[in-house]
Amino acid sequence: MTIARLILLCVLLALVGFGLAVWQGVYRVPPAWNPWAPLDVQQPPNLLTGHKLRRLQDDPALCRLALDSAELRYTPMPDSLPDPTCPLTNTVRIEASALRFSAPFRATCSLAVAYALFETHDLRPAAEAHLGSPLVRLDHFGSFACRNIARSNRRSQHATANALDIAGFHLADGRRITVARHWSGDDPEARFLRAVRDGACRRFRATLGPDYNAAHHDHLHVDMGRFGICR
């Protein structure tokens, strides 16, 4: 074994040992930097945020702990089968957050947590930075719809309530910003919407907007599916 490989092996063993020590509670690290601690939506995202989001996708109890750290008013929903091909599992009904919504919507728990991260750390700060006014309401086109992706035989993430279509925003000063009317250009409204898109790309697995295709000319589609894309 070469010296370089021996050093690498020692480093890997040290990291594994440290990880086990953290997991067993021998070493205490801040929860935000503990990969086994529940995700706290209020804490600034860091390198472990994506890992923690992936952990809670198949762990309803862990996901609810993350939701309880968010500014969301929600109701856990029983698993159901509204259509034989569209089972809904581990979902919640989102009533409101720090913002009002155009309507309540049903979402997988992981989508709800990703949305809470997005609203807290990207959406509301973008409004203050680009428009100088707080957001008060989000308009959307819905989350659950038992259907395929357009012109495809594959089920949409909407079919499991794992996606949300965001259409526009209301500001405290009375302005209304919509994807359909304000996406193009280089004015503050357009820069705000692009900052919103960029923030969504950081929090969700997929974000699709008007730059993707004509079907998304009036909304931003966000989801927590398997494939990552930002357009």
- What is the tens place of the pLDDT at every residue in 102-128? 999 999 999 999 999 999 999 999 999
* pLDDT per residue as tens digits for the range 187-230: 999 999 999 999 999 999 999 999 999 999 999 999 999 889 99
| Cα 166 to Cα 226: distance, rounded to the nearest angstrom | 20
Asked if 190 contacts 183 with a C-beta cutoff of 8 angstroms, the reply is yes
| Cα 220 to Cα 53: distance, rounded to the nearest angstrom | 21
Tokens standing for residue 136:
């008060």
* pLDDT per residue as tens digits for the range 14-47: 444 444 444 455 457 788 899 999 999 999 999 9
Degrees to nearest 5, angle at CA 109 with 107 and 111: 60
Backbone angles phi, psi at 73, to 5 degrees: -100, 115
